[in-house]
Structure 1
Amino acid sequence: MVSANQDSIRNKLLSILPPDDFSLIAKHLEYVDLPRGTVLARVGEPIDHVYFLASGIGSLVTTTPDGNSAEAGIFGFEGYVPTTAIAEVETSSHDVTMQLSGDAYRVDYNNFRAAMENSSFSKIVIRSIEAFSVQLAQTAVSNAVHDVNERLARWLLMCHDRVTGNEIALTHEFIARMLAVRRPSVTTSLHVLEGNGFLKSQRGMITIRNRAALEEFAHDAYGKPEAEYRRLMKDLFP
């Protein structure tokens, strides 16, 4: 059970629940540490817990029958996973893994489903998944129409949105796997972004130096899902 005051809860969805509704779900929440690489769900396997991240970054990864994989979506303290739990589906549709260490509040699947009977909780979760679907659609469009430099800029901005400070612990190899590009392409793109003064790239660490300029460089690759999330959440529980 989570005993912390709701004001200290670092997950956006849990923090905006009306206090009485939060107390109902809080008694079922368990606080857990999530080191990098922690698997939160596997495709086709039963969903044991639903996770509300407080920190860190996770990825939904889609894999083809031939074993090729790419990141489909990214999440942090603004949402929950596995997303399929909302539809009363007991197995995950994606592999879900922590890409940056963090912590979370988790609830077992049955208690999550019971909480969906609460109108305030269900409203928040449904709006969250709607915003997430916009991100998934934007990823598909970006992969089709933007070059690697813009895609990398977008991805780094999304990571920056979900960390404290300007440092993001990422390797070139990991970024390549998430973007489904070759590692040399990531190295070249990082050189471009660094040459423009947007960031500093060191071994295993990227430091954002000029956020505004990086957003301008990303152009329309970044921003729509983020704006949609704000729109969907801004009027909850006046």
Structure 2
Amino acid sequence: MPFVPLPGALRERALAKLLPQNGVLAALPEDVQARLLPHLALVDLPAGQQLGQPSGNFARAYFPVAGVVSLIQGTAGGERVSAMVGSEGVVGLPKFMSDPSVIRVAVQSAGYGLALGREQLLEEWARGGTFMRLLMRYNRALAAQKVVLNACRGLHSLDQQLGTLLLMSLDRLGGQEVVLPQDSAAQLLGVPAQELGAAVDRLCQCGAASWRRPGVFAAQDGAALRAVACGCERRVASEYQRLLADGPPPSAPSSAGGAAADASRRVARDAMVARGGSDRPHGG
């Protein structure tokens, strides 16, 4: 669907309520937010949707408000997640800031976000101010996440890696459930489905997790899940805090439970207003 700037002051005021729900946009000064707001569009991020082109070109940048997007890397054995982005970040940065090892970008857990056309992004970037500096700092934080997760693959067991993947997903979703079909999780971790299934069974047996319904993972005991995981999600959060001390905060811990769910519901209500009362966000 073509990118169309949002019409009308009313729509802009509604979108302005969503803008603080994304860490990168929230960290921008008010004058930069005001310049970008007329060019932002509310977009669907349905599970499985590919964002941008395999070449790394993006017609727009996506600032998630809800949901999780995975940056997927090609390996000798197939594909695996190299990084995850939720409401703390952005995907679709200019190609000169992208990682050539990332072969595709896909929505892991459905949500929605704010999209900014490439032309407007580069125009604001060319000003050389806060926007450019913030995106550069965020890009360093994203690169740090890739380094941590890459090391995790070689150092930690599959059970630990699965625990970390689930914790990072849950943290970014701000709740206790994540839609993550078992075959998708296997692909994300770059392992055979049968091997992943055995790891899932072990997590369920120790009471850390359960499958609420097909494809929906639930954290039964956050402390038990963190005990199984390797702690790499905390290392990622620590790097984000170090690199973005004055920028977007790391996602709220999933242990926030009810408070995170209440915040998620408020954001969903704001999104409904921003899309003019229709039952779906504007398409991406």
Normalization by structure 2: what TM-score?
A: 0.76
Contact 1:70 1:178 in 2 (8 A): yes
**What is the aligned partner in structure 1 of residue 26 from structure 2?**
15
Q: What secondary structure, in the 3-state scheme, does the structure 2 residue paired with 1:8 have?
A: helix
Distance in 2 (alpha carbons) for counterparts of 1:92 and 1:114:
27
Opposite residue 153 of structure 1, the aligned amino acid is: G
- Say yes or no: does 1:216 pair with 2:232: no
Please list, as runs of the form range in 1=range in 2, the aligned pairs for 1:1-238 lying within 5 A after superposition: 1=6, 3=12, 4=14, 6-9=16-19, 10-44=21-55, 46-64=57-75, 68-83=78-93, 85=94, 87=96, 94-116=103-125, 117-202=127-212, 203-236=214-247
Shift in Å at residue 62 of structure 1? 2.0
Distance in 2 (alpha carbons) for counterparts of 1:82 and 1:45:
8
Normalization by structure 1: what TM-score?
A: 0.89
Q: What secondary structure, in the 3-state scheme, does the structure 2 residue paired with 1:71 have?
A: strand
Contact 2:23 2:247 in 1 (8 A): no
Contact 1:43 1:92 in 2 (8 A): no
Shift in Å at residue 37 of structure 1? 1.5
Contact 1:86 1:113 in 2 (8 A): no
Shift in Å at residue 97 of structure 1? 0.9
Distance in 2 (alpha carbons) for counterparts of 1:7 and 1:108:
20
Distance in 2 (alpha carbons) for counterparts of 1:153 and 1:171:
15
- Structure 1 residues 88 and 213: alpha-carbon distance in aligned structure 2, compared to 1, 3 A threshold: closer
- Structure 1 residues 190 and 103: alpha-carbon distance in aligned structure 2, compared to 1, 3 A threshold: same
Shift in Å at residue 124 of structure 1? 1.8
The share of aligned pairs that are identical, in percent, is 25
Between stretches 66-75 and 150-159, larger displacement belongs to 66-75
Distance in 2 (alpha carbons) for counterparts of 1:58 and 1:215:
22
Q: What secondary structure, in the 3-state scheme, does the structure 1 residue paired with 2:115 have?
A: strand
Shift in Å at residue 67 of structure 1? 8.3
Distance in 2 (alpha carbons) for counterparts of 1:27 and 1:142:
41
- Structure 1 residues 230 and 32: alpha-carbon distance in aligned structure 2, compared to 1, 3 A threshold: same
Q: What secondary structure, in the 3-state scheme, does the structure 1 residue paired with 2:229 have?
A: helix
Q: What secondary structure, in the 3-state scheme, does the structure 2 residue paired with 1:181 have?
A: coil
Distance in 1 (alpha carbons) for counterparts of 2:190 and 2:101:
22
Which structure's relative contact order is higher, taking Cα pairs within 8 Å and 6+ residues apart?
2
Shift in Å at residue 92 of structure 1? 10
- Per-residue CA deviations over 1:21-44 (Å, capped at 9, x if unaligned) read 111111211111121121112221
Distance in 1 (alpha carbons) for counterparts of 2:78 and 2:194:
18
- Structure 1 residues 88 and 201: alpha-carbon distance in aligned structure 2, compared to 1, 3 A threshold: closer
Contact 2:56 2:104 in 1 (8 A): no
Shift in Å at residue 223 of structure 1? 1.1
Q: Show structure 1 runs of 4+ deviating over 6 A.
A: none
Distance in 2 (alpha carbons) for counterparts of 1:222 and 1:92:
21
Between stretches 28-37 and 147-156, larger displacement belongs to 28-37
